[in-house]
Chain A
Amino acid sequence: MNNESFPKPIKLSPDELARQKSRSRALGLVLGALVVLFFAVTIAKLGGDVFNRPM
C-alpha cells in the first residue's frame, strides 16, 4: 500500500491543543446537561408514574 496517498497527519501546536480541549470540555458539559435536562423534563411531563408500568 502506498502511504503517500494519505494526507499527512496534522500536528497541533500547544495553543491549538488547548483550544481543542476547551471545545471538547464545553461539548461534554453541554451533552451532560442535556441528558439531565431531558430526564428532568420527561419526569415533569409524565410524572413519577413513568416508572409504574406493566412489565
Chain B
Amino acid sequence: MSLATESLVNDGSASVASPSLVSRATAKDYYELLKPRVMQLVIFTALVGMMTAHQAINPVIGFASILAIAIGAGSSGCLNMWYDATIDSLMERTAKRPIPSGAVAPGEALAFGLTLAIASVVFLGLITNWLAAGFLAFTIFFYVVVYTMWLKHWTAQNIVIGGAAGAFPPMIGYMAITGSMNIETLLQFLIIFVWTPPHFWALALVKSKDYARAGIPMLPVVAGEIETRRQILIYSLILMPVGMSPSLFGFVGPVYLAISTVFGAVMVWLAYDLFRKREGEPARKASYRLFGVSIIYLFVLFVALLVEELLPNLAWSHFL
C-alpha cells in the first residue's frame, strides 16, 4: 500500500489527518510509537528479574538482553497504536499520537512494529536462549492480539487479563539469564499483575467519557463509577499482601518488607479515599492521586527488590 493511497479507516466521526505522499514523521514520532514510558517500566522490571538470578552476568549480554526485551515491548506498543489508530483519534488522551495526528502512516507503523518484533525475538534468542525469546514473542502476541485486538474491545476485564502482558518482563529477564523460571519472578509477575487494575481504573475514572466515546468497555463505562471504586479498593487490598510476598516467602529481607508494607498501606488508604469521594473536584483529585502514587508504588517496590538483591553481594565483596 503506498503512502498516497493509504488512509485510516474511520466512521466519519473521527478527525484523522490523511497521510501525504511525503512522510511528515520525525525520528521522535517513531520513538513515540514505542510507548517510551511503558518501555521504561519494562526495562526496569526486566533488570530486577535478571538480578534475582544471582548469577554472574556478562554486562554486554545483560545490556543486549534488556535492549531486546525493551524493543520487543516497544514493538507491541507500536502495533497497538497501529491497530487502535481510529479509536486513539477519538480520545483526547491519545489524539496526538503519531498515527492519528497524521505524522506516521498506519502502514509505516505496521511495518516498523513487525520488523522490531521479529528482530527483538530473534536477537534475544541468539544471544541468550530460545525459552526467553519464545516468552518475549508470546508477550508481544498476548499484548497485540489477545489484549489489543480482542479483550480491549470486548470485556470490562480487559486490563485485568491484559495486564499480564505488562507483568511478564521480570520473568523474561530471569529466563534470559538462567533459561528457566522461578517462584521469585512469579511473585514479581503477580505484583505487577494485581497492581495494573487499580492503576488503570484510577485513570479510567477520570477519562471515562473518552472511553465511552471510543466505545471501549472500560469498567467505569460498563459497570459505573461506584462499582469501579469498589473494585479498585478490593484490588488494592489484595495488592498489599501480594506486594509483601517476596519477603513473606523469604526471598528478600526486612527492608523490603517494611517498604512494601508502608507503601501497600498508602495504596489502600488512597483507594479508600477514592471510594469515599465520589463527586466533583475532590473525586477527580483522588483519582489522579491514586494513579500517580500507584506509579511511585511500583517503582519503589522494584527499587527495594533491586537493592535487596544487590546489597548482600556488595557487602560480601567489601567485608570478606
Contacts and interface: CB of A to CB of B under 8 A. Distances in A.
B55 interface: no
A35 interface: no
A37 B62 CA distance: 12
Contacts of A43: 60
Nearest to B60: A44
Contacts, number: 36
B23 interface: yes
Contact of A44 (B27, B58, B67): B58
Contact of A41 (B25, B27, B28, B127): B127
Contacts of A10: 21-22
A16 B22 contact: yes
A31 interface: no
A27 B64 CA distance: 19
Contacts of A16: 22, 24
Interface string A1-34: 0000000001010001001101101110000000
B60 A23 contact: no
B61 interface: yes
Chain B contact-residue range equals 10 to 19
Contacts of A44: 58, 60-61
A9 to B, nearest CB: 12
Contact of B64 (A19, A22, A26, A37): A37
Contacts of A23: 23, 25-27, 30
Contact of B30 (A12, A26, A37, A40): A26
User: Contact size class for A?
Assistant: 10 to 19
A8 to B, nearest CB: 11
Nearest to B62: A44
Contacts of A22: 26-28
A40 B58 CA distance: 11
A53 interface: no
A19 B25 contact: yes
Contacts of B26: 19, 22-23
B155 to A, nearest CB: 38
Contacts of B25: 19, 23
B107 to A, nearest CB: 16
22 contacts: A10-B21, A10-B22, A12-B22, A16-B24, A19-B23, A19-B25, A22-B26, A22-B28, A23-B25, A23-B26, A23-B27, A23-B30, A27-B27, A37-B64, A37-B67, A40-B60, A40-B64, A41-B60, A41-B61, A41-B64, A43-B60, A45-B61
Interface of A: 10, 12, 16, 19-20, 22-23, 25-27, 37, 40-41, 43-45
* 6 A-B pairs with the lowest CB-CB distances in the bound complex, closest first: A26-B27, A44-B60, A22-B26, A40-B60, A22-B27, A19-B26
Given A10-B22, A26-B27, A44-B61, 18 more contacts: A12-B22, A16-B22, A19-B25, A19-B26, A20-B23, A22-B26, A23-B23, A23-B25, A23-B26, A23-B27, A25-B27, A26-B30, A27-B27, A37-B67, A41-B60, A41-B61, A44-B58, A44-B60
